[in-house]
Every structure is written in structure tokens, then in C-alpha cells.
Structure 1
Amino acid sequence: MENTEKMPITYEELKQELIDSGRPYDFDMIDRAFALANQAHSAQRRRSGEPYICHPLSVARILIDLGMDSESIAAALMHDVAEDTDVTVDEIRSKFGPEVALLVDGVTKLTQIKFSNVEDRQAENLRKMLLAMSQDVRVMIIKLSDRLHNMRTGDAWPEQKRRDKALETMEVYAPIAHRLGISNIKEELEDRSLQYLDPVGYNTIRDLLDKHGDEFLHGVCDTISAHLTENGIENAKIKYRVKSVYGIYRKMYMQNKEFEEIYDIYAVRIILNSVAECYTALGLIHDMYHPLPNRFKDYISTPKPNGYQSLHTTVIGHEALPFEVQIRTWDMDRQAEYGIAAHWKYKEGITSSGDKLDERLAWVRQLLESQRSSADATDLLSDIKSDLLPEEVFAFTPRGDVINLPAGATVIDFAYAIHSAVGNRMIGAKVNNRIVPIDHQVVTGEIIEIITGPENRGPSRDWLNIVKTSEAKNKIRNWFKKERREENIAEGKDALERELRRNMMTIPPEHYDEFMSNLARRNRCNTVEEMYAAIGYGGLQLSRMLTKIKDEYARLKASEPKPVTLDIKRIHSSEGVVVEGIDNCPVKFAKCCSPLPGDDIIGFVTRGFGVSIHKRDCKNVHESMRHPENADRWVRAYWDTAAKEQYSATLELTCMDRNNLVSDIALALSDMRVPIYSMAARAAEHGRAHMSLTIGIMNTEHLNNVVAKLKKVKDVISVLRT
């Protein structure tokens, strides 16, 4: 596939390319599809000014390069008519049959997905995309081709749209192309995106590539070809490639390497008839050139998860330039170039190889299946990014089975990749016969033995912060979900109440059950217990719930009735406090919260000592109200605004230690005519001093003024009310 967009294509040219391919295409269907699309788009033009039909023609050309079937070509020609014109999917179904209609409808729905910054919506859109792909992967291959042509002609977009599309392409479409094994599309999507996101970095690398390479690689190919023929390997196809710009960019800018330190910029590809010839050729290459240590990879015996197979070795040429040699068979080469598209077989109706496709799409279904057990849709985002990572590691069980994992995966991920029962019973691991910690990251080639404990042993909650793969996370969550329900409920409830206290939210006891029910419903849980359990086992994360908690709390506060205004003339105050329904009642102020005028207060009728006044948000109030025997003893209380009494307040000051500090603070209080009841000061480490003051104030507004003035005293760092 070419990396540059050709001149706008005509249908006659497209049809000639179909004929030249030698495949038995259904030309009658393709002719009718073009006629319908050409008529539907006749009045439309692209941003660049060219007729709109050029776009579907170009998408169809990309699919021919991929070797796709007649239905895919027809659907590509019509992929925009259902969205942009009066033609409906039902009309396409009646004229072209259900298969083509399914492809057009699938691509239309994918096109309508708008990736936003709202994580919930983005996660749902990714889920829809994966569902479409799991039903018929051709939908995604057509969509990737559509995105590729749009990126090739993206210069016509406004600058911000170019950057948005490039970021979306880099984060979503290129990783999916990688997992489908379509390396050409994946690399070009990344390069085009980089060109818009970092044009300076892109052009720097392009300039470096233009100065090296072509003549050197031509010479290497000729030398290898002659040497293989001399040693009895004939009909070898030898070609070369230069590493993609984005591939070099990642190593230069993300791994901080110099251009000369990257050993696989240049690669020679040798395509042979059999696997035996591949290994023979590898020995001949190592005879001709000096191989670099630790740069050999055998992906033939250990294929990558996307099906890629090849032998890789890096050698130093006679010009002292390192280059990579890739050795593979013709089937492996088709797989590497076209990925999942290579499975389309051209028989009488051009049908696909179902078994292979099912095998290749297993990861999509597995990802969707595991997500059903998660209450938090945004987990899908991080799972997509971890499961679609291009870098993989390969490790072995003691029996020699190969386990593929994303880079950065731990031995816990390895255990769960073998079986959930192995992960749940894991108590340790050995790597190459040596005990390692459980957060040990797997390195390619390691032989890992998982040490297991008794059957009733389960995973640790801390593992959720260690594991890398979505598979391991979901298996751990599922274990806690099934085996530790009561523990999960208790732990989830405690965690939620701690979060409420941390955010200074006090739920009145009479509204507590309703508040929690509403919160559970907003988090898609059937009951409050289910919500607590989900928090407990990690299915719901408090950090992501916080916005909904705050919304619900704001709604609760807005619905609370306003305080009843009492007639001060009829009910007299005591100590500047009015207690509803009790005249001249003896009052004392609770030491646990030390309320001051201006604070929202409540009274508690004590046994023999009058009424104890607390702040409404005092934690003791909340705890006491939960006990039925105390509920009736809480009474409404208000400050008497007419009373002019003084109250004591204690302040803690943190200061930088210096001479005259105490006298400056006392002088500041004297200027404000604030009485000082007690004062204590002590030196602290790092040249600091702590001071405790008990002063007389009128109300919270007065106190706030005093605090503000004290903060202005030189070397006072903080002033806190205790």
C-alpha cells in the first residue's frame, strides 16, 4: 500500500485495478453500488473542492490493496450515502442484500460516534465500536480505510480539527489496526497523525531519513541475494523497508535515544517458501554479518498476539551501519502486511475463513465480556489502552507454554493469564528458579513458576493497584464480588462515609437512606448494599463517584426546609442562645466542637445539666442521632442576634521563630481590643514556633476578622481555630 495519496481516482481506474488483481469480483454488484453512490453524492463536494465521490472511490482502492471481498468494495463505495444523502439502509438492503446493508449500516454508526472529553460517553462509544467489530470485522476494516484516506487529505481541515482527528486516530484507530495486524495502515495512520500533532519532530526525522539509506540497502539486498543463491536457496524475494517516522519518534523522544542508537531503522525482508528455509537463511546471514547480542527474536515459534510471525535479527553491515533482517514465508508476509484482511479467500462467493476470524477476534469479545461485570464504564478506556498496547512480552510456564502479556505486566498478570484459579491461589512466584516479589515485571524469555497456596486462599485487594491487564483486574474483582460480599459491603460503606467526612458532607439521619438510594441508582446499582459491595471490591471508584455525590448532596441541601423563625420576645435566650420550646434554659457549649455565634448549631437535652450546644456538623451529633434512644433529645437551637456576649475561642498559630514574636501578637490583639484568656508558646524544629491562644470574641464574623489580622503579623504562617 502506498503512503502517499494519488491524484483523484476515477471509477474506470478503480475497475481496472479490480480486473488487474485477478480476483473473481462481482462486477455487477460493484457497478450498481458505484451508480447509486455517484447519483447520491452528485451535488456534494469535499472541503478541498473535488467531487465527493472521489472519497469513496479512494477508500475502495485501499480495500483492493488489502485484498478485500466484493461486499466490502460495494459497501465502501456507499459508506457515506446513508449518513449524508436521502438513501436509507433499508433501500440498500433491498437492492444489495443484508450483508452489504450490514456493512454500510455498521460503518455509518461508527462514523456517527463522536469522541468527546467526557469519559463516560467516550467509553460507551468505544464499547459500540468494539461491538460492531465483533459482529463483522469488515466494518472496522472499511472504517480504518475511511480514516486513512481522510488523514491523507487532512490538509483541507481547519488546524484544530486536524489536531483533534490526529489525536483520536493515534489513541483509538491506530491501536485497533495494530491488533488486527494491518501494519501498513497502522504505521501510516501514526505517521499522518504525528505530522499534525508535532510537525517539527516529524520533519526533523524525515530529514534524517532522507540523508541515509537507499543506496546502502540496495547494496545489502544484492549481496544477500547472491549469497543465498550460492548456498542453494533460490527464488527468495528480498525487499527492504525504512522504519516508520512515528516508530523512530517514539524511540528518540520517548526513550531519549539518538538517531544513531536506533538499530532497526533499516530492515531487509527475506521471503522464502518454507519454515526450514527461514532458519537456514538465518544461519547464512549470521555468517555474512556480525549479529548484535540480545537482538534476535523468534516470532515463528512464538507468534505475537495479532498473529505476526517472522525471524528478526539485527546485524552490523560492512559500512558499520546496523540493520534488521526479517525472515519469513509468503503466508507469514501476507499476514504481516494485511493482518486479519489476509484471511479473505477468493472462492465462488468470496467468503471468509470463519475459524481463523473467530480466533483473531477473541480478544474483542473477551474485553467486552469482562466489562459487563464492571459498574464503571470508564474502566473500558484504560483497558483499551492497556490491551491494545503495541509492545508485548512473552514468557513461559515450566511446561513450555507461551503466555503473551502487555509490556509492564507483573507475575500476578501471568498467573491470571494461566487460569483464574491459579491467580486466586497465588502466594508467590519464581522466575528462572529464583523467588521474586509479586510486583516483578515480566521480561520476554523468562520461565515463570507460580507458587500456589490452599484452595480457600484468595487474592489481596492491593493487587488491583499492581496488575496491568484488564483480565487480571476483572478476575480479582469477580473473586471479591462472589466470595467476600459481607466484607465488601462493610468496607465499601466505611470508605464512602470516610469520603463524605473528608468532603465535610453531613447527611441528616432522616434523609440518610433516601440519599444513599438515590446515589446507588445514579451509579447503576439496584440496591444500596450492591453499591457498597461494588465500592468494596473495586467495581466502583470513589474518586469517579465524587461528582455524583456532590450533585446529590447539593440537591439534598436545596430541598431542606428553611429554619423556623422564633418569636424572641416569647422565648428568652440564655448565654446568647435560643433553645426552641424551652424558656431560660441553662446552656453549656460542647468542648468537642466549641460552637461560636454564626455557626449552625443544635441542642442536646442532657440529664440534669440543661442543654449542651453543638455545631450541626459535629461528628458526635451525627453518631448520636443514629441511636433511636437519643433521637428525641436533640432540639433546635439558634443564636440570639440581640445578645452581645463574649465567647472564648482557641487558636493555634504556626510561626517562624524570632525575637519579640509573642509581644507583636499580643500587641495586635490589644489593638483590636480582644481579651486574652491564656497564651502558651513553644519552639519547634526547623526554626519554627507553635502558639496556643484562648481569646474572647463576639461571633464567627468577629473571629474571622481577628484571624485575618493575626495572619498579617510578620512571620505568622498559619492560624487555625481548634
Structure 2
Amino acid sequence: MSDRDKTEAEVFEGLLSTIKNTGKQYDVDAITRAYQTALTAHEGQKRVSGEPYVMHPIHVAEILVQLGMDTDTIVAALLHDVVEDTPTTLDIVEKQFGKDVALLVDGVTKLGKIPFSSREEQQAENVRKMLLAMAKDVRVIIIKLADRLHNMRTLSVMRPQKQRDKALETMEVYAPLAHRLGIRAVKEELEDLALRYLDPVAYEEIEHMLELKRDERNQFIDHIKERIIQRIVVQDGKKIHLEGRVKSVYGIYRKVYMNGRSFDEIYDIYAVRIIVDSVIECYNILGIVHDMFRPIPNRFKDYISTPKPNMYQSLHTTVIDKEGIPFEIQIRTWDMHYTAEYGIAAHWKYKAGIQGKDKLEERLAWVRQLLEVQQESEDVEDIVRSIKTDLAPEEVFVFTPRGDVISLPVGATIIDFAYAIHTAVGNRMVGAKVDGRMVSIDYQVKTGNIVEIITTKNPTQGPSRDWLKIVKTSEARNKIRSWFKKERREENIAEGRSELEREFKRNYINLPEPEMREFLTNIAKRQHFASIEDFLAAIGYGGISLSRIMPRIKDDYQRTYRTPEPDPTKLVPKPKKERKGQSGVIVEGLDSCLVKFARCCNPLPGDDIIGFVTRGFGVSIHKRDCVNVLAAMQDETQRDRWVRTHWAASVKETFKSTIEIYATDRQGMIADISIALANMHIQMHSLNAREAKDKHVVIQITLGITGLDQLGNIINIFSKIPGVISVERATQ
């Protein structure tokens, strides 16, 4: 029976059954009272799907039970929408269920009643409020993650634009927060659900590829598990627990579509997880695994000695079995496993009643850091940008000369590293050494680098404004802004005035001095500054983004002073130049957009192409006759996202294209193909061969090609190799 066919009472009984199956002590009476309160408060309210609204908080509570959360969290989940959506007040909640539950409900409640100038500003303020409440009690954000997870599971009933907006917010804000809290299952499900609406064509393609290889994959993982059991359990007599894992859809998407790899180049699609009782056993098992399988160089990661910032610990090694198939093995203890699956929920201090500071407080230091960073900036949306960059899943681990580990997002520079150590170190930095060698100021640090920051003793020395264009983290950017704000006020005012004058000139804003001063005074007040000078200084040190507020300024100017737009007939027309699109593709109607090439059809210059606008990941380029395009064109809700594209007049880039050769399985065939490629000076990215029937072989080669003409020439040359029966361009 589906949830739509169940009554509220039946769904709540399911929650109680889940609670009972955990074997943990819960206050069922308090949970039942919370359900009755929510049922009464939400009486008559329906979700967009038509089901009673109270079903939603029950499902949120069930997700939290599965995460192992405590009674107060479950009660707050059942009540999390009553203050926002019903006449029930926070005081009533506190009187009936206590101060802790009221704090949790208040932290989750949105700021819908406060007017904001934009949706982005409202989103940013909601996130800021959540983090403020989370700094007091981390359970706030865990409830919010469960709330968002259930909303994403039921997003299909929403209108298409709402689906895409919610999916983008989930990908940019909630999935990174789940990652930083270490709640892997929630993070991966949020990413996969969001991707389904942001890039449905790619999502369907990856699901299709996984489905095609499902039986093969299960058989392979079972075979590997059996070999490990025979060696470690039967021969060595060790006690272990084994699990098989498949990489998430979004994890594959990041590597295939965003990093430009082929499906066969992803080594960790398959993984086997070995769980043992102690850290010593982890390293012992690693030695046995490397004796059983051949390890791939540079694919070993020790997250036990160097844990990730979200508390994750494991040994990761990628190996190859005798069939030549690469796969990942993860080795961890049971404590590490619970932390990897449930993150911060696995270390729940409220269960044990621990008071005061403990390791949990240390792990939440980044929350306070995010809030402190945001307070340095007048731009409230900085906090969302911080989450997008500073909490990104991809991280690097860099060492100080003393051996301390600093975690930074991928792409971070030595400037970010310096400010991560201390504000004063960043402000007085004049250079840096990486692994003992001097590097430039924009050097991007990599995992394993030992970085030594060189500082000056000159107290007047400070950062450069150009650093704002180089740094990756919001922490570094805001510390640089803060220095200029405090130390260079006159310089900031001059810089801000210069920038404002340039923007005014570009937007044809021109007024006599008295009127201009009145106009600027009104703008400064609207931006919460006491004077024009404070407003100009904020522009100068970067606290205000002028490009963000310029449209509003221009509207106010035209409405107040009614300045006519310049006569287009008097402007000297500039000859139009064809725009050179990213990767040689021009997207009609869009400038400087991110372009990625679909792996389903691998378009080349010369192919008839079309683009699909994804949400947050640029434009995906397909061949017009791609099977996925033909199928997706039938979807009415997606049609307006297809855009016209064409190749630029001159394309110098190379593109990955796969050629499939069907040939006689003779000695020297691969060598002849390699020699032909070398003679043509063609770059080869990968080569895979498999046996076919009747002593034949199928060879797939992925090459770097400039266009259809070169592809035709390659196919012609390969066709002349003795024993080659057919050469075709592969679709995948």
C-alpha cells in the first residue's frame, strides 16, 4: 500500500514501528502528543499532492529516527511547521514540550513574514538564521536536512520552475551542509534527487548505463567479496564484515560530465567495504589486500591518520583484479563506519547528557567561523557563497612546516592557506615556499604540499587588492576586505568613488552636484550606511557588490529624474564580431556560458548540434540525432530548455571521440593500431579490448580529435590495417 492510500494514523503507526525496531529508548508518550498537536494544528491543510499536510512532518520524523536522533528532535520534527503555517505560537510549544523543543522549532522556522528585496537575499537570511540556531544546537540543521530530503522526494508534484529552483538550492546549500556534517546517505540522496531536475537528460543517461551493467556489476562485486572471504576469513581466520557499494549518480556525473572522463575511466564506480574491530586490523587488512590484488599507483588515501573535516575516516585503495577491472576497497572500523554513514548524528552528546565543551563543539567550529565571516561583510548573500565554496565536497589537505593539516577547497591558493593559519599571517605575507621551492602568489595548493608562508616584520605592510581576484575561500576574501576597511579608509573612498563614477557613466547616470549628492545620500541610507563616504568606502574594500545593486539604482534614477535613453540613431554602430564560444561552441542568446559535451553522443566540429540548458551546470551540447535528444524532445516541460547552438568559424580545441574496431584477433593487432596513431600524431586517452565470438576482437579507442574530417581520415587509415573488418564511431 502506497503512502497516498494510507491514513494519517496508519503513517504515524509506521513511525512508531520504526522507533520500536531501533531498540532505543524513546519517550513515545511525548512523540504521540506532538503528533496529536500537529494533527490538530494542520487540520484541513493539504500538500500540493493533495495528501493531508501532517503526512510531511511524520515522514520527516521517520527520517530522523533512521539517523538515530533523540526524542526532542523527533518531537520538534513533528511540530516544525506549526509555528510557521498555523496559529500555534512558540510559547504554546514551549509550555507543552519544553525549552529545547521550542528552540529547535524556532531554528527551523523560515523568515517568510519579513520583506526582502530579492529571493536570493531571503534565502541567504534563512540560511544565516539556521546557522545561528545551529551554533546553539546542531539538531536544528539535521531536522532541516530531513525536511528538505522529504520535500525533494515528493518534488515531482511541483511545477517545473519550482522544481528547478528547489533543486538548485538543494545542490548549492543543503547537500554541502550534509557533507560537512558527514551524513553521507542524506548528502548523496539530496544530490541525486537535485540532479534529476537540473539535468534530466544526463541523469537518465547515467541511470541507463548503471542499469545496463547491473547484473555484471553485482556478479563482479560478489566474486570479489568471495575471494576476500576465502583469503582473510577462511585462510587467515580474521573476523570481518563485507559490503558492496556503487558510486552515486551525482558522483558519476561529476567525473563524467564535469571532469570530462569516460565511464570506463572512473575507477571507483565499484567498491567493496571491509569493516573490522580495530585500527591495527585496518592496516593489516590493507597489506593482505595489496598482496591479493595489484594496487594502482597514486590511488591510495589514508583518511585514518588524516581525517576529513567532516570526521570521515577510512583507508581507500584502488586495485585491479586479474580480469583487469579496477575497483576501490575501503577499510574502516565500526566506529568509523557509523561516523561515515551518520556523521555528527553518530556522536550524539545529547544521548549521554554530556555537558560543556567536547569534541562535538570543536567539530562545529566551522559554523561559528561562517557566521563571523558573514558579519565582516555588508552583503548578506556572502554566507551562501561561503557554503558553495568553503564547504564544497572536493577538498585538499595541506601541511604546515610543523606538520599541522589545513583543509581547503580545491583551487585554493597560498593566500587562502595563509589566512587559514591566522589573519596576521595572511596580512603580512610577502611570499611562500611549497615543498621547499618559491612559488607565485596565485599558486593553487595540492594535497600533500608542505607550505611555508614568508612574512614581513613591517607593521604597515598589508594585503594587495588584487588578492581579492585570486583567493578561493570567503574567509580569506573577508579578512582582506576587513583589513582595507580598517587600515585604508581614504584609499577605499577614492577607489569606491572611481568605481561608482565608471558605473554611472556606463549607465548614463548624470546629475548636477546638489542633486547627485541627494541621490547618493538616498542610496547610502537604503544600503544602511550613515553617510555617502561610508557607502563609497564599502564599495572600495569590496563589502558592497556594485554590480548587484546597480539595476535598482538605475531604476530609481530613471523613475525620479526621467532621463531619456541615448538616441540609438546617433550612436556609431560597431561592426558585429562573431563570438567565440567556450570550447568552440556558440550558444545563441547566451554569452560566456559554461559548455559541456554530452558523453552519450560525443559531438565533434562538423556535427549538427543542439544545447540543453541545465540548472547550475551550464549548457550540455548534444548531436541533433542523439537518441537522448529525440526522447527528451517529447517532454513538454523540458522543450523550452533546448537552445540553438553552432560551431564557431575556427575551432582549435580537441574533443574526445571513441572509435570501435572489429577485427581478427591476431598477434600484433594492437601494435599496428598504436603505430598508425603515432604516425598520425593523434593523442590516445584510453584503449580497451575484449574478445568477441569466432576468434575476433572488439577494440575501443578514445582519441583527441579536432573534427569530423580528421575522424574520417583516421577511420580510413584504420580500415587498411590487415585483419580489420570494420571501423565505426562509437556512440558511447
The alignment's TM-score, normalised by the length of structure 2, stands at 0.72
Determine whether 1:296 maps to 2:300.
yes
2:310 paired residue number? 306
Q: What amino acid is aligned across from residue 411 of structure 2 in structure 1?
A: G
**Separation of aligned partners in 1, 2:223 and 2:149:** 33
Task: Work out which of the residue numbers 516, 521, 524 in structure 1 matches 2:520.
Answer: 516
Counterpart in the other structure of 2:89: 88
Match of 2:626 in 1: none
The answer to whether the Cα contact below 8 Å between 2:130 and 2:140 also exists between their aligned partners in 1 is: no
Displacement of 1:54 after TM fit? 3.1
* 1:382-419: CA deviation from partner (whole Å, max 9, x where unpaired): 22211121100011111111111001001111111111
CA contact (8 A) 1:522 1:548 kept: no
Contact 1:233 1:277 in 2 (8 A): no
Deviations, residues 33-88 of structure 1 (Å, cap 9, x unaligned): 22222344454444444444433222222111100000111122222333344433
Structure 1 equivalent of residue 487 of structure 2: 483
Give the match for residue 203 of structure 2: 202
Is 1:380–2:386 an aligned residue pair?
no
Q: Which amino acid in structure 1 is aligned with residue 295 of structure 2? A: P
Q: Secondary structure at the match of 1:133?
A: helix
Q: Helix, strand or coil for the counterpart of 2:109?
A: helix
Distance 1:491 1:178 in 2: 39
Q: CA deviation at 1:339?
A: 1.0
TM-score by length of 1: 0.73
Per the alignment, residue 446 of structure 1 pairs with 449
Q: Deviations over 1:209-238 (max 9, x none)?
A: 222411211221222233223575633111
Aligned Cα root-mean-square deviation (Å): 3.1
User: Following the alignment from structure 2 to structure 1, what is the Cα–Cα distance between the partners of residues 524 and 419?
Assistant: 31
> In 2, are the aligned partners of 1:344 and 1:352 still within 8 Å (CA)?
no
Alpha-carbon distance between aligned partners in 1 of 2:209 and 2:113, rounded to the nearest angstrom:
39
In structure 2, the CA distance between the partners of 1:205 and 1:316, relative to structure 1 (3 Å rule), is same
Deviation at 1:154, TM superposition (A): 2.6
Q: Using the TM superposition, give the Cα deviation of residue 357 of structure 1 relative to its aligned residue in structure 2, in angstroms.
A: 3.0
Which whole-Å CA distance do the structure 2 matches of 1:158 and 1:16 have between them? 34
Match of 2:503 among 499, 502, 508: 499
For these two proteins, the number of residue pairs brought into alignment is: 565
Partner Cα distance (1:137, 1:325) in 2: 32
Larger Rg: 1
Indicate if the aligned counterparts of 2:72 and 2:101 stay in contact, CA closer than 8 A. Answer: yes
- After TM superposition, give the deviation of residue 352 of structure 1 in Å: 8.1
Paired residue secondary structure (1:455): coil
Alpha-carbon shift at residue 115 of structure 1 (Å): 11
In structure 2, the residue matched to 1:18 is 19
* Aligned partner of residue 238 in structure 1, secondary structure: strand
Tell me the distance in 2 between the aligned counterparts of 1:344 and 1:546.
47
Question: Is 1:99 aligned to residue 100 of structure 2?
Answer: yes
1:262 aligns with 2:263: no
Q: What CA distance in whole angstroms lies between the structure 2 residues aligned with 1:29 and 1:651?
A: 73
* Aligned equivalent of 1:61: 62
| C-alpha contact 2:177 2:387 (8 A) present in aligned 1 | no
Residue 424 of structure 1 and its aligned partner are, at CA, apart by 1.4
Q: CA deviation at 1:103?
A: 1.8
Deviations 1:282-310 (A, max 9, x none): 11111111111111111111111111111
Using the alignment, how far apart are the partners of 1:113 and 1:332 within structure 2? 43
Equivalent residue, structure 1, for 2:365: 362
2:397 to 378, 389, 394: 394
Structure-2 separation of matches of 1:243 and 1:32: 41
Deviations 1:661-696 (A, max 9, x none): xxxxxxxxxxxxxxxxxxxxxxxxxxxxxxxxxxxx
8 Å Cα contact 2:349/2:360 also seen in 1: no
| Matched AA of 1:103 | L
Question: In structure 2, how many angstroms separate the alpha carbons of the residues matched to 1:61 and 1:554?
Answer: 54
- Whether 1:547 and 2:533 are equivalent positions in the alignment is no
- Equivalents in 2 of 1:513, 1:426: separation in Å? 39
Please state how far the C-alpha of 1:118 moved relative to its aligned partner. Answer: 4.0
Identity, % of aligned pairs? 60
- Higher deviation after alignment, 383-392 or 122-131: 122-131
Task: State the distance in 2 between where 1:527 and 1:192 align.
Answer: 47
Matched, 1:533 2:537: yes
SS for the counterpart of 1:309 is coil
SS at match of 1:403: strand
- 1:684 aligns with none
Q: Alignment partner of 2:442: what SS?
A: coil
Query: How has the CA–CA distance of structure 1 residues 239 and 653 changed in structure 2, closer, same or farther, with 3 Å as cutoff?
Result: closer
Q: Which residue of 2 aligns with 1:581?
A: none
d(CA) in 2 for partners of 1:512, 1:45: 53
Q: Please report how far the alpha carbon of residue 117 of structure 1 lies from its aligned counterpart in structure 2 after TM superposition.
A: 6.2
**Map of 1:586-601 to 2, 5 A cutoff?**
none
Question: Are residue 29 (structure 1) and residue 33 (structure 2) matched?
Answer: no
Going from structure 1 to structure 2, the CA distance change for 1:10 and 1:387 (only over 3 Å counts) comes to same
Give the Cα separation in 2 of the matches to 1:399 and 1:372: 31
Q: 1:378 to 1:108 in 2, by over 3 A?
A: closer
Measure how far apart 1:119 and its partner are: 3.4
Question: Deviations along 1:616-666, whole A, 9 cap, x unmatched?
Answer: xxxxxxxxxxxxxxxxxxxxxxxxxxxxxxxxxx9999999xxxxxxxxxx
Q: What is the letter of the counterpart of residue 341 of structure 1?
A: A
Please state whether the residue corresponding to 2:260 is helix, strand or coil: coil
Contact 2:70 2:351 in 1 (8 A): no
CA contact (8 A) 1:412 1:438 kept: yes
- What is the identity, as a one-letter code, of the residue corresponding to 1:442? V
* SS at 1:319 equivalent: coil
| Alpha-carbon offset, residue 549 of structure 1 | 3.7
The AA in structure 1 aligned to 2:561 is K
In terms of mean alpha carbon deviation, does 104-113 or 55-64 score higher?
Answer: 104-113
Report how far residue 5 of structure 1 moved.
Answer: 8.9
1:34 maps to a residue whose letter is Y
Q: Are the counterparts in 1 of residues 110 and 126 from structure 2 also a CA contact under 8 Å?
A: no
CA contact (8 A) 1:344 1:353 kept: no
Please give the alpha-carbon distance, in whole angstroms, between the structure 1 residues aligned to 2:575 and 2:317. 65
Compute the displacement of 1:120 (Å). Answer: 3.1
Match of 2:415 among 412, 417, 433: 412
Shift of 1:153: 2.5
Residue 473 of structure 1, CA deviation: 0.7
Helix, strand or coil: the match of 1:405?
strand
Say yes or no: does 1:227 pair with 2:231: yes
* 1:541 counterpart letter in structure 2: S
Change (3 A) 1:322 1:81: same
Structure 2 CA distance for aligned equivalents of residues 58 and 652 of structure 1: 63
Distance 1:500 1:203, change over 3 A: closer
Tell me the residue number matched to 2:476: 472
Quote the residue 1:38 is aligned against. 39
| Aligned AA (2:95) | S
Q: Please report how far the alpha carbon of residue 123 of structure 1 lies from its aligned counterpart in structure 2 after TM superposition.
A: 2.7
Equivalent residue of 1:294, what SS? strand
Instruction: Provide the C-alpha distance between the structure 2 equivalents of 1:115 and 1:528, rounded to a whole number of angstroms.
Output: 23
Equivalent residue letter for 1:417:
A
CA shift for structure 1 position 360: 2.3
Structure 2 contact 524–530 (Cα < 8 Å) conserved: yes
Moved more, 506-515 or 298-307: 506-515
Aligned to 1:74: 75
Partner of residue 163, structure 2: 162
Between the aligned partners of 2:95 and 2:515, the Cα distance in structure 1 is 58
Question: Is the CA contact 1:266–1:323 (under 8 Å) kept in the aligned structure 2?
Answer: yes
After TM superposition, the structure 1 stretch with the greater mean CA deviation from structure 2, 4-13 or 433-442, is: 4-13
Which residue number corresponds to residue 324 of structure 2? 320
| Partner-residue secondary structure (3-state), 2:438 | strand
Change in Cα spacing, 1:46 to 1:114, as seen in structure 2 (3 Å) is farther
Q: What residue ranges of structure 2 are gaps of 5+ in the alignment?
A: 577-732
Answer yes or no: is the 8 Å Cα contact 1:375–1:524 preserved in 2.
no
Cα gap change, 1:503 to 1:207, in 2 (>3 Å): closer
Q: Which residue of 2 aligns with 1:123?
A: 124
